[in-house]
Amino acid sequence: MIGLEPLLVSPTSLTEAYTLLAPTHGADDGAGPWRPIAGGTDVMVQLAAAAGEAESSTAETPSGPGRLLDLWGLDELRGIGLSEDGRELVLGALTTYTEIRRSPLCATHLPALAEAAATIGAAQIQNRGTLGGNVVNASPAGDTLPVLLAADARIVLGSARGERSVAAVDFWPAYRRTVRADDELVLRLRIPLPTRREMRFRKVGTRRAQAISKVVVALAWREDGGVWRDVRLAFGSVAATPIRAHETEAVLEGAAPRQTVADHAVAVLGRELQPIDDIRSTAAYRSAVAGRVLHRLLRDAGGW
């Protein structure tokens, strides 16, 4: 069993959550910042690990989060819909992977996100894990994050101070870091829906379910008179954060998916990506696979 049972508070409205998170209720009472928790698929694992450390250490103070802000009851943060002008897909932060997989709107407008959701964990995780959680957990291996990057998603944060929206490309400044302030919550994701955008998603892991990615890729473009425009190439698990491969994108921008273009893009990608060795894979494998996956996606798109 778990030895540490931190205080958990379940606000019933966003306003109540904002009040709890406001700095006057924050660090000055010695309890430290609130740790928001949604489906628990990351936070509960981290709590268990902290409890294990506390049991095996002689330290007086455990390292786990002092208190949890339970978001699960905030229905304001659920739901998938279109913006009023119909130009954006809007997903509440508490949208689960199961809900994404079942959503007709996602199937129509952003099937790559549904594909990504289907590769995360298995039924147990998909029923609980949330899109907002994937975003704030800020793992470089978060499987939806390359899709969000390739889709030019914006992440809407809210607090008692108001709301702001941050482009996905600016959201993860460093390993496991986000630009979210302690008093802010991720409220929703806004994904623009340009006409004729195509997107492809690939995840490479040890098995189809329950695997953490070795490499995860999302590629988006709009075809315009035989060439590609607005190319977005995003990767997970190959850097300290989810990233876009801007140099490789530049090779593909304004080009057509021909073999010579693909060869060149892969060569540039090989120089651009600087993955590392870790417990899940090696830098060499990740580089090789990233290039192969890109080549294959271009070949499929070009029909050669």
Partner 1 sequence: MSIDVVVNGERAALDVPGSRRLLDVLREDLGLTGTKEGCGEGECGACSVLVDGAVVDSCLVPVAQVAGRSVRTVEGLAGPGGRLSVLQRAFLETGGAQCGICTPGMLIAGVAFLESGAAATDEAIREAIAGNLCRCTGYTKIVEAIALAAERGAGPDAGAGHEAGAGAEDAGADESAGPDDGAEPTYPPGSR
DSSP string, 50-95: HHHHHHH---SS--S-SEEEE-TT-GGG--EEE-TTS-EEEEETT-
Q: Does 26 bind partner 1 (CB under 8 A)?
A: no
Q: Which stretch binds partner 1 (CB under 8 A): 18-26, 39-47, 55-63, 152-160?
A: 39-47
Instruction: Give yes or no for a contact between 178 and 172, defined as CB atoms under 8 angstroms apart.
Output: yes
Q: Among 26, 40, 79, 270, which residue sits at the site for partner 1 (rule: CB under 8 A)?
A: 40
User: Does position 37 bind partner 1 by CB under 8 A?
Assistant: yes
Residue 80 makes CB contacts below 8 A (sequence gap 6+) with 89, 90, 91, 92, 95, 99, 100, 103, 105, 106
Chain mean position to CA 184: 17
Order of strands across the sheet that contains 88-92: 80-82, 88-92, 185-192, 154-159, 162-167
CA 114, distance to chain mean position in Å, is 13
Q: Is 7 a residue that touches partner 1 (CB under 8 A)?
A: yes
Question: 154, 168 in Cβ contact below 8 A?
Answer: yes
**107 contributes a contact to partner 1 by CB under 8 A:** no
H/E run at residue 159: strand 154-159
**Region from 133-141, 150-158, 195-203, 204-212 binding partner 1, contact rule CB under 8 A:** 204-212
| 31 sits near partner 1 (criterion: CB under 8 A) | no
Does position 123 interact with partner 1 (CB under 8 A)? The reply is yes
Minimal distance, residue 28 CB to partner 1, in Å: 23
- Interface with partner 1 (CB under 8 A), residue from 21, 34, 39, 116: 39
**Single residue of 34, 97, 117, 121 touching partner 1 by CB under 8 A:** 121
Considering the complex, state which of residue 72 and residue 164 has its C-beta at the smaller distance from partner 1: 72
H/E stretch holding 99? helix 97-102
**Is 7 or 276 the residue whose CB approaches partner 1 more closely?**
7
> Does 22 sit near partner 1 (CB under 8 A)?
no
Q: Does 125 bind partner 1 (CB under 8 A)?
A: yes
The window from 13-21, 124-132, 156-164, 216-224 that contacts partner 1 (CB under 8 A) reads 124-132
- Residues forming contacts to partner 1 in the complex (CB under 8 A) are 1-2, 5-10, 37, 39-41, 44-45, 47-49, 68, 70, 72-73, 98, 121-125, 127-128, 208-210
